[in-house]
Amino acid sequence: MKKAGKSRKVVDETTQVRCALGKGTIREEVWQDFRGAVVKYNLAFVNHSLCAEDQGRVLGYDNNHGHHHRHYAGAEEKFSFVSYEKLLERFLDEVRRLREKKEPI
């Protein structure tokens, strides 16, 4: 993983979404180095009706603290990082499924 030393934030988006159980928020933050490589990222899906843990963060991915990790319903685990594009695709697929859940996690 590359250090975020001289990087700039290139994506800073928050989107409100409807879910089967309440409303949700999708958050995406991305930083790139001077060559355009992603050096830092933070993806989060928050829905307080689905998850009471971790301030409502049902799902999240980030590379803070020097390693890539996944948050799910209050638990944290490492995962194998391939590319930011693949990770974003995985995250959005998981969020799509979670938005359909009708019971809290």
- Spatial distance between the Cα atoms of 71 and 100, rounded to a whole number of angstroms: 19
Question: Quick one: pLDDT at residue 3?
Answer: 52
pTM: 0.91
Question: Quick one: pLDDT at residue 86?
Answer: 98
- Spatial distance between the Cα atoms of 49 and 35, rounded to a whole number of angstroms: 40
Question: Quick one: pLDDT at residue 4?
Answer: 47
Q: State the DSSP H helix or E strand holding residue 14, giving kind and residue range, or none if neither.
A: strand 8-18
Measure the CA angle with vertex 70, ends 41 and 15; round to 5°. 55
pLDDT tens digit at each of 105 positions of the chain: 455 458 999 999 999 999 999 999 999 999 999 999 999 999 999 999 999 999 999 999 999 988 999 999 999 999 999 999 999 999 999 999 999 999 999
